[in-house]
């Protein structure tokens, strides 16, 4: 049996990116029960990819209750719906076998990871204050993507002079803006830029000097995406809500590495249940951005443990 419910988690504060602001995380929770064993997973439908709570719920409810993980990969496209069901099946299968999900996947035991902490888009002065508040964290991620980004970036560097900084433009720049900003990103010690150009225009990255490594986010969903990224990006951002679950995320990670890409593992703004399987994918990744629960005012029972700048693998009471 497969069931799906909508849940809402309040954010600790307003979260803003170049596309808009939010005060809560709206997620879908999927439960799969077979033989008295219950597994669960979470997804975050994303309007950027044409998803809504209603459309993703309909996709999930269209599935037969006894679907297997292998059949699921063909039944649904990459996206939020397949992610929640895939992760719920992993959880259920691990519990039924009396093993951890990482064992079922043939992976080594996971360990803690250094994760980014995201500063949402705001005025330069507000971002400087927020950066100073979190300057003890080793890795800060800045949401940018407007015509006035340089004062914001300068302010964050002033507020957190020792932290490693990565920048997410959320498709908000043009080629001309990127070329203008790139030397300043290098000067300010930015380690990575995510998706500087719209996915539909990222061919403009071909032939450009990438003074700072460029990471594909909206341009990379699953393994089929890789064929369109050559010559444009140095790294890919793997998110389970894009790949359609843990099964494809692990396969994408391995193929991307084989093709010479570095790996970032990211997330939508969701609860610890959404982050838990991503922790397995993130083992060994060059950049980890699994801070969703840190942005929430409330979380699941038995949440992930965060300590300083680290996130720890899930306990069995949460997932896997």
Tokens of 241: 């809500």
Per residue in 241-264, pLDDT (tens digit) is: 999 999 999 999 999 999 999 999
Host H or E run for residue 32 = strand 20-34
- The span from the CA of 142 to the CA of 124, in Å, is 11
Give residue 155's pLDDT band: very low, low, confident or very high (50, 70, 90): very high
- The span from the CA of 230 to the CA of 259, in Å, is 9
The partner residues of 192 in beta bridges, in order of sequence, read 166
Torsion over CA: 96, 102, 107, 108 (sign): negative
Starting from the edge strand earliest in sequence, which strands make up the sheet with 37-43, in order? Answer: 2-17, 20-34, 37-43
Catalytically active residues are 143, 239
Per residue in 21-57, pLDDT (tens digit) is: 788 999 999 999 999 999 999 999 999 999 999 999 9
- Cα of first residue to Cα of last residue in the chain, in angstroms, is 19
**What global pTM score does this model have?**
0.95
The average confidence (pLDDT) of the chain is 95
Give residue 142's pLDDT band: very low, low, confident or very high (50, 70, 90): very high
Q: Is the pLDDT of residue 1 over 80?
A: yes
Q: Is the pLDDT of residue 5 over 90?
A: yes
Burial of 240 (0-12, 13-18, 19+ CB in 10 A): buried
């Amino acid at each position: 049996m497969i069931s799906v419910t909508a849940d809402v988690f309040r954010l600790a504060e307003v979260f803003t990116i170049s596309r808009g602001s939010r005060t809560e995380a709206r997620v879908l929770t999927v439960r799969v029960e077979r033989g008295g064993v219950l597994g669960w997973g979470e997804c975050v439908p994303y309007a950027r990819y044409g998803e809504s709570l209603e459309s993703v719920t309909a996709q999930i409810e269209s599935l037969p209750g006894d679907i297997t993980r292998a059949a699921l990969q063909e039944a649904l496209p990459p996206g939020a719906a397949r992610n929640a069901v895939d992760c719920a099946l992993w959880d259920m299968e691990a519990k039924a076998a009396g093993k951890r999900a990482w064992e079922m996947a043939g992976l080594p035991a996971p360990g803690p990871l250094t994760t980014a902490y995201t500063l949402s888009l705001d005025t330069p002065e507000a971002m400087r204050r927020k950066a100073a508040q979190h300057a003890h964290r080793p890795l800060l991620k800045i949401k940018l993507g407007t015509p006035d980004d340089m004062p914001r970036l300068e302010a964050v560097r002033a507020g957190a002079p020792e932290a490693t900084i990565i920048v997410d433009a959320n498709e908000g720049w043009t080629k001309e803006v990127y070329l203008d900003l790139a030397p300043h990103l290098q000067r300010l010690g930015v380690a990575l830029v995510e998706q500087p150009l719209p996915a539909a225009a990222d061919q403009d990255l071909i032939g450009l000097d990438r003074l700072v490594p460029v990471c594909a986010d909206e341009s990379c969903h699953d393994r089929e995406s890789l064929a369109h990224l050559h010559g444009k990006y140095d790294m890919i951002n793997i998110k389970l809500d894009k790949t359609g679950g843990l099964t494809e995320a692990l396969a994408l990670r391995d193929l991307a590495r084989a093709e010479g890409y570095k790996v970032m593992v990211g997330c939508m703004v969701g609860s610890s249940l959404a982050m838990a399987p991503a922790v397995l994918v993130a083992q060994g990744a060059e950049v980890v951005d699994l801070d969703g629960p840190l942005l929430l005012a409330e979380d699941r029972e038995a949440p992930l443990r965060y300590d300083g700048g680290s996130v720890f693998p899930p306990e069995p009471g949460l997932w896997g």
